[in-house]
Amino acid sequence: MDHLNEISVEELQEALDNVDGNKPTQRLLAAIAYKNGVTQTELAEWYDTERKTIYNWLNRLDTDEPLEQAVTDAHRSGRKRKISEKQQQEFEQTVHESPEEIGVDAPAWTPALAQEYLEETYGVDYSIPSCRRLLKEAGLSYQKPRRSAPESDEDDQEAFHDEIKKSGERWTPQ
C-alpha cells in the first residue's frame, strides 16, 4: 500500500517544526524518510521496531486531521486512584509531619511506613514503588542518611583523611 501520496515532504517538515515530544518527532522523521525512498523494512531496522509499527505510523498520517494531531497520541488517563482526592490531601498533610506525631516510633517517613499507614488508615494496599511515588507527589524527597562517627576526635579524622590522600586514596596496610 502506498502511503502519503497526498502529503508533501515540505508539509511533513513544517509539521515537524510544530510538534513536541519524541514520539511525534520520530513518526514524522520516519514519514519524511519514507517519502525520500526508504522502505518500511529499513525504517523498522532503523527504529528497532516491527515493520507493522512503521506501517501504523505512516497509516495514521493518511487522515484529514492536521499532521501535528495525527502523530500525537491521545491522552490516556491511567488507572483510577485507590484513595480519593480528599484522602490524598489528608495523606500529604500527614506525611509533612513527623511520624511520631501520629504515634509511630520512626524518625522519618519511608515507603514501607507510608504503605503501613495507608493500609491502616484507608484500608488500601499500595506497593512500595507506588508509596515512593505518593511520597514524591506529596513533595517529599529521598535523602540518603550520612553516617558519621561523632565520637571520633576531629584531629583524628583529619589525620585519617591525610593518610588516605597519601596512599592515593586506596586502603593500604600500615
> Residue 172's pLDDT band (boundaries 50, 70, 90)?
very low
DSSP string for residues in 80-134: PPSS-HHHHHHHHHHHTS-GGGGT---SS--HHHHHHHHHHHH-----HHHHHHH
Higher-confidence residue: 4 or 9? 9
Per-residue pLDDT at 173 exceeds 60? no
Is pLDDT above 80 for 165? no
Please compute the mean of the pLDDT values over residues 68-80 and round it to a whole number.
84
Which residues neighbour 61 within 8 Å (Cβ) at sequence distance 6 or greater? 3, 4, 7, 27, 31, 67, 70, 71
pLDDT score of 1: 45
Confidence of residue 67 (pLDDT cuts 50, 70, 90): confident
154 DSSP assignment: H
Full-model pTM: 0.48
Residue 161 banded pLDDT, cuts 50, 70, 90: confident
CA-to-CA distance for 112 and 100, rounded, in angstroms?
A: 15
The confidence band for 168, taking pLDDT boundaries of 50, 70 and 90, is low
Mean residue pLDDT across the chain: 86
Mean pLDDT (whole number) for 152-167 = 75
- The CA distances from residue 158 to 163, 164, 167, in Å, are 9, 10, 14
**pLDDT score for 69:** 86
Owner of C-alpha cell 486512584? 81
